[in-house]
């Protein structure tokens, strides 16, 4: 606690309960006699505390981090009834590690800008109301809605909450559940599904000896970064593997690569074809696994053509091919910059073709384990949901919309006119912890408890080996008794609707207990219901038996468009994602605002990264403001110059530029997502967020860039010393 400001009321209570208060404090304007009866709850709590509440001793309880969709298991340290710190759950996929977003999720829990009670729109603005009133409004607006006229718009959901949500939707006769994540791997998943028959196979980084990643920032934001970081270490130690990263803007993974190659956004597929070309021609790799059409296409993409389209030099292609050939087995990944483009599906397909050509499927790409409970599986988010939803509300399809875990008003490009379209929906309910842009547009706001105040189960979207259900349990009493967990709200709604089978549960906790007790014996491993419950809560994980799946290989067509210069808008905009602000949900956490971006080291603001050559051409230096203008609008931000950006690219990180969302987020930086051009991936219908062309002009303003660190070079000192991999393998190799 800060300072010595003992809350006066607490002090009074203390004194009153001790029996001396009446004598010493008479004359004060406070009720000075608090009888033992009145204060019983508090007194008894201290006299006979919970088993864990040992004053001065921190105790750890398992729960699940919800700060990003990865669903890492955590241990929360509790002392005197307060959650103090989070650590990774060693039994979970993330091990004892946790990323900075997970570490900062306590700040989300204790955030000063949390919504502490329900709010309803009255006379144009949101006013605090009681839960009774909130339910009453819900009853009025929602009960009469026709079948199919309501929809849910959420982020990634899984576990029993997801099950309840399905049940509710079913009861309403509406199947409309849009699952949206601004940062997603939907295109890659579509290709995986098409080629391998498994949308999220297991990527065995630990087995690979070389990794070629096309913009997959698996150490930062891609799928399950903490898990991949652990696998990365296995990949990097012993007989050390080689990491090559091809992307338009250096990501955290790119910064750790042995070879970082700059490619124009959207040309990753071409680079993949070029690499395949070298592998087939120079290394005589057997191309039997590919179709004739594919081989013909590869033959077309010789080095000079690839260089012309992608900007990747022929020598780089040869180096990449050599690494892949010499360090087998290899693994080729496609990430955001490759996928989120107008030809994203084709890029991902070409990249998958490399995996097929190199024979990685089955070696470093394994089938995920199919889980016992299909209904608990994570509903993975994509951006197509946003486009579909925008179309649907524009057409006036819904009377009631529920928002939860997504902030589309903030993340949607301005060409969608999302806010205006949303205004057409008569009644919008937001289940939220914070007054973000979407919540503020709602008519009814139901305050959610934080992930560390509620019961729940989570199934991580990425389930590489042992399928697991991660438990959430309240780590402390809710900060506000007026907040409710998603599970409780859904259960109340189900009960209100009179859906059969839910009336017997007092709250979500009892539902969850019953649900776990009802799990098959194979999951419970012979334990009784109560035993199984305690074990699950204690471990934080339920390992479900799973059957190993299998992968097929059915490579689709690979088409690649040529590179077209756009003279009006000569540069590419890269709305990069970093493991800090993520998709903007972390902008209200002061720790993460103050934590510098890993690559640029900029804090508390947005910035635009350009290559030194580009900067020279634009006539800008670090800290100069530039105007980045697309056909949809313009943003202004400061320049940071480094050689980890393609010369034709200007990269602006997403996640800042909130108009609302609390004191730490509001008005800080710019939001590049707003100026995205309308473009979609033709095959998957995903938003092509990397397809925007921009024109960059100097504004003439300049200010110091908020960047940590003085010199960016070591000036000859041996601070970070580098040794060659060959030496490492000789000395420390397995």
Partner 1 sequence: MQTKDINENIAWAKINEDVLRSMENPRMGYWVAVVCCVAMVMCAVAAEIYQYQVGMGPANLNWPHMWDLYIATFVFWIGMSHSGTLLSAILHIIQADWRKPIYRFAEAMTTFSLMTAGLFPIIHLGRVWNMYWVLPYVSDRGIWPNFRSPLVWDAFAITTYLTSSALFLFIGMIPDLAICRDSARGWRQKLYTVLSLGWQGDDRQWRNFRKIYLLMACFLIPLAVSVHSIVSADFAMSIMPGWHITTFPPYFVAGALYSGCAAIITLFILLRYFFRFDEYMTIPILEKTCKLTFAIAMVWSYLNIIEFAATWYGHDMVAKELLIAKFVGPHAPYFWMMLFCGSVLPFTLAFEKLRRHLPTMFVVSLFLNLGMWLERWMIVTPTLSFSYMPFAWDVMWPSMVQWAIVFGSFGWFGLLFLVFVKVFPSVSMYEVKEMVFHRRHYHSSALANQFHRRASDPKPGDEPSKEGA
Partner 2 sequence: MSLKNILENWSDYRRTAEDGGHHDYEHMWAMAIDLNKCTGCNACSVACYAENNLPTVGKKRMMKGQGMHWLRVERYWDEPDMGGDEKEYQERGGSFLPMMCQQCNAAPCEPVCPVAATYHTPDGLNAQVYNRCIGSRYCSNNCPYRLRYFNFYSYYEESWPEPLNMQLNPDLSVRDKGVMEKCTFCVQRIRVGKDAARREGREVHDGDVITACAQTCPTEAIVFGDMMDKSSKVSKIWAAHEVELGKHEQHKSDPDLRGYRVLEGLNTDPCVTYLERVREA
Site for partner 1 in 711-730 (CB under 8 A): 711-717, 719
Task: Output 3 or 55, the one with its CB closest to partner 1.
Answer: 3
Nearer to partner 2, 120 or 270 (CB): 270
Close Cβ partners of 441 (under 8 Å, ≥ 6 residues apart):
409, 419, 422, 423, 428, 430
Contacts with partner 2 in 529-558 (CB under 8 A)?
Answer: none
Report the nearest approach of partner 1 to the CB of residue 601 (Å).
Answer: 9
Do strands 150-154 and 400-404 pair parallel, antiparallel, or not at all (unpaired)?
parallel
- In angstroms, the CA 622 to CA 616 distance is 11
619 vs 73, 223, 616, CA distance in Å? 48, 38, 5
Neighbours of 113 (CB within 10 A): 17
135 Cβ partners below 8 Å, 6+ apart?
492, 496
- Does the footprint of partner 1 cover residue 567 (CB under 8 A)? no
Which one of partner 2, partner 1, none interacts with residue 333, CB within 5 to 8 A by kind? none
Which residues does residue 470 pair with via DSSP β-bridges, in sequence order? 458, 541
State the binding string over 448-487 for partner 2 (x if CB under 8 A, else -). Answer: -------------------------------x--------
Measured CA distances, 199 to 343, 464, 551, 690 (Å): 19, 12, 10, 22
Sign of CA dihedral 307, 309, 311, 316: negative
Close Cβ partners of 394 (under 8 Å, ≥ 6 residues apart): 421, 424
Alpha helices by DSSP H, 172-313: 186-196, 225-236, 252-255, 268-281, 292-300, 303-310
Binding-site partner at residue 131 among partner 2, partner 1, none, CB < 5 to 8 Å by type: none
Question: x/- contact string, 2-31, with partner 2 (CB under 8 A)?
Answer: xx----------------------------
Spatial distance between the Cα atoms of 422 and 409, rounded to a whole number of angstroms: 9
What is the nearest approach in angstroms of partner 1 to the Cβ of residue 609? Answer: 19
Residue 248 or 344 having the CB closest to partner 2: 248
Q: Choosing among partner 2, partner 1, none, which partner's interface includes residue 580 (Cβ < 5 to 8 Å by kind)?
A: partner 2
The count of residues interacting with partner 2 (CB under 8 A) is 102
Q: CB under 8 Å, gap of 24 or more: what pairs does 195-199 form? A: 195/349, 195/352, 195/356, 195/552, 195/553, 195/554, 195/555, 195/556, 196/352, 196/361, 196/365, 196/367, 196/551, 196/552, 196/553, 197/550, 197/551, 197/552, 197/554, 198/367, 198/368, 198/549, 198/551, 199/380
Closest contact distance (angstroms) between CB of 597 and partner 1 is 15
Considering beta carbons, is residue 481 or 545 the nearer one to partner 2?
Answer: 481
Q: Quick one: which of 196, 202, 216, 250 contacts partner 2 (CB under 8 A)? A: 250
Please identify, among the stretches 61-69, 98-106, 177-185, 568-576, the one whose residues bind partner 2 according to the rule CB under 8 A: 98-106
Minimum separation from the CB atom of position 494 to partner 2 (A)? 31
Size of the site for partner 1 (CB under 8 A): 10
Binding mask 690-709 for partner 1 (x = CB under 8 A): -------------------x
- Within 702-721, the residues that bind partner 2 by CB under 8 A are 704, 706, 708-709, 712-721
Which residues have a Cβ under 8 Å from the Cβ of 653 and sit 6 or more positions away? 575, 576, 577, 578, 581, 597, 606, 607, 672
N- to C-terminal Cα separation, the chain: 50
Nearer to partner 2, 106 or 294 (CB): 106
Q: Which is nearer to partner 1, 292 or 717 (CB)?
A: 717
Instruction: Count CA atoms within 13 Å of residue 710 on its CB side.
Output: 2
> Using CB under 8 A, which of 498, 710, 722, 730 touches partner 1?
710
The site string for partner 1 over 651-690 (x = CB under 8 A, - otherwise) reads ----------------------------------------
Asked if 407 contacts 421 with a C-beta cutoff of 8 angstroms, the reply is no
Residue 451 C-beta: closest distance to partner 2, Å: 15
- Closest approach, Cβ 384 to partner 1, in A, equals 43
Query: Of these, 12, 216, 242, 331, which contacts partner 2 (CB under 8 A)?
Result: 242
Residue 593 contacts partner 2 per CB under 8 A? yes
Of the pair 374, 717, the CB lying nearest partner 1 is at 717
- The 316-345 site mask, x for binding partner 2 (CB under 8 A), equals -------x----------------------
Does 3 engage in binding with partner 1 (CB under 8 A)?
no
SS3 453: coil
Q: How far is the CB of 69 from partner 2 (least distance, A)?
A: 17
Q: Which of 32, 33, 100, 289 binds partner 2 (CB under 8 A)?
A: 100
124 binds, among partner 2, partner 1, none (CB under 5 to 8 A by kind): none
Maximum CA extent, the chain:
96
Pattern of binders to partner 2 over 71-90, x per CB under 8 A?
--------xx-xxxxxxx--
Closest to partner 1 by CB, 27 or 716: 716
Q: Which residues contact 5 (CB under 8 A, 6 or more apart)?
A: none
| Cα within 13 Å of Cα(662), Cβ side | 24
Strand arrangement of the beta sheet that strand 82-88 belongs to: 59-64, 73-79, 82-88
Distance CA 541, CA 457 (A): 9
Q: How far is the CB of 335 from partner 1 (least distance, A)?
A: 29
Minimum CB distance to partner 2 smaller for 720 or for 734: 720
Among the candidate windows 219-227, 358-366, 529-537, 677-685, which touches partner 2 by CB under 8 A? 219-227
Is the CB of 292 or the CB of 718 nearer to partner 1? 718
For residues 217-242, one letter each, b for 16 or more C-beta atoms within 10 angstroms of the residue's C-beta and e for the rest, the string is bbbbbbbbbbbbbbbbeebbeeebbb
**Residues written for the chain:** 734
Of the pair 257, 386, the CB lying nearest partner 2 is at 257
C-beta of 7 vs 711, nearer to partner 1? 711
Cα 178 from Cα 684, distance rounded (Å)? 16
Q: What residues line the site for partner 1 (CB under 8 A)?
A: 709-717, 719
């Amino acid at each position: 606690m800060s300072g010595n400001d003992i809350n006066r009321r607490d002090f009074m209570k203390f004194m009153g309960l001790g029996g001396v208060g009446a004598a010493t404090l008479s004359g004060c304007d406070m009720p000075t006699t608090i009888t033992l009866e009145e204060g019983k709850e508090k007194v008894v709590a201290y006299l006979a505390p919970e088993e864990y509440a040992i004053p001065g001793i921190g105790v750890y309880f398992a729960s699940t981090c919800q700060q990003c969709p990865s669903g890492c298991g955590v241990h929360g340290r509790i002392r005197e009834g307060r959650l103090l710190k989070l650590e990774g759950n060693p039994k979970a996929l993330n091990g004892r590690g946790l990323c900075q977003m997970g570490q900062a999720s306590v700040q989300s829990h204790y955030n000063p800008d949390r919504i502490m009670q329900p709010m309803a729109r009255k006379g144009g603005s949101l006013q605090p109301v009681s839960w009774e009133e909130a339910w009453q409004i819900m009853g009025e607006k929602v009960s009469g809605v026709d079948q199919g006229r309501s929809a849910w718009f959420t982020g990634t959901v899984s576990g029993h909450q997801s099950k309840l949500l399905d049940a509710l939707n079913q009861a309403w006769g509406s199947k409309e559940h849009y699952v949206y994540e601004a940062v997603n791997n939907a295109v890659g998943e579509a290709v995986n599904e098409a080629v391998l028959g498994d949308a999220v196979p297991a990527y065995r980084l630990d087995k690979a000896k070389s990794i070629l990643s096309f913009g997959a920032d698996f150490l930062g934001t891609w799928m399950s970064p903490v898990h991949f970081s652990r696998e990365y270490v296995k990949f990097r130690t012993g007989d050390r593997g080689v990491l090559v990263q091809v992307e338009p803007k250096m990501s955290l993974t790119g910064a750790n690569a042995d070879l970082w190659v700059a490619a124009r956004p959207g040309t990753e597929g071409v680079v993949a074809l070029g690499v395949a070309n070298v592998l087939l021609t120079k290394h005589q790799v057997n191309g039997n696994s590919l179709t004739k059409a594919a081989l013909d296409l590869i033959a077309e993409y010789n080095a000079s053509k690839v260089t012309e389209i992608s900007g990747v030099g022929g020598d780089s292609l040869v180096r990449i091919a050599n690494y892949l050939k010499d360090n087998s087995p290899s693994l080729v990944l496609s990430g955001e910059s490759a996928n989120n483009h107008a030809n994203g599906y084709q890029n991902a397909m070409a990249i998958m073709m490399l995996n097929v050509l190199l024979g990685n499927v089955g070696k470093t790409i394994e089938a995920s384990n199919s889980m016992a409970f299909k209904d608990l599986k994570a509903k993975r988010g994509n951006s197509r949901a946003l486009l579909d939803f925008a179309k649907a509300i524009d057409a006036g399809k819904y009377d009631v919309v529920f928002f939860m875990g997504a902030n589309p008003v903030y993340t949607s490009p301005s060409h969608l006119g999302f806010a205006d379209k949303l205004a057409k929906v008569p009644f919008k309910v937001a289940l939220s912890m914070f007054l973000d842009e979407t919540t503020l547009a709602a008519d009814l706001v139901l305050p959610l408890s934080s992930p560390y105040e509620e019961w729940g189960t989570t199934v991580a979207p990425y389930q590489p080996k042992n399928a697991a259900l991660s438990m959430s349990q309240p780590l402390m009493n809710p900060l506000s008794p007026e907040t409710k967990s998603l599970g409780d709200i859904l259960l109340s709604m189900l009960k209100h609707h009179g859906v059969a089978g839910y009336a017997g549960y007092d709250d979500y906790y009892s539902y969850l207990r019953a649900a776990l007790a009802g799990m098959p014996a194979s999951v419970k491993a012979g334990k009784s219901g109560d035993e199984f419950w305690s074990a699950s809560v204690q471990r934080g994980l339920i390992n479900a038996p799973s059957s190993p799946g299998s992968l097929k290989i059915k490579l689709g067509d690979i088409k690649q468009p040529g590179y077209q210069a756009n003279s009006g808008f000569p540069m590419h905009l890269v709305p990069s994602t970093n493991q800090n602000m993520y998709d903007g949900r972390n902008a209200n956490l002061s720790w993460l605002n103050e934590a510098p971006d890993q690559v640029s080291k900029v804090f508390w603001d947005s910035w635009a990264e350009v290559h030194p050559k580009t900067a020279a051409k634009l006539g800008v230096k670090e800290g100069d403001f530039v105007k980045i203008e697309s056909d949809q609008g313009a943003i202004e931000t400061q320049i940071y110059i480094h050689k980890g950006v393609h010369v034709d690219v200007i990269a602006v990180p997403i996640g800042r530029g909130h108009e609302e969302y609390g004191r730490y987020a509001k008005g800080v930086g710019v939001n590049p997502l707003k100026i995205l051009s309308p473009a979609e991936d033709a095959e998957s219908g995903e938003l092509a967020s990397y397809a925007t062309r921009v024109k960059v002009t100097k504004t003439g303003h300049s200010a110091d860039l908020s960047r940590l660190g003085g010199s960016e070079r070591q000036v000859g000192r041996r601070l970070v010393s580098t040794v060659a991999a060959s030496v490492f393998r000789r000395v420390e190799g397995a």
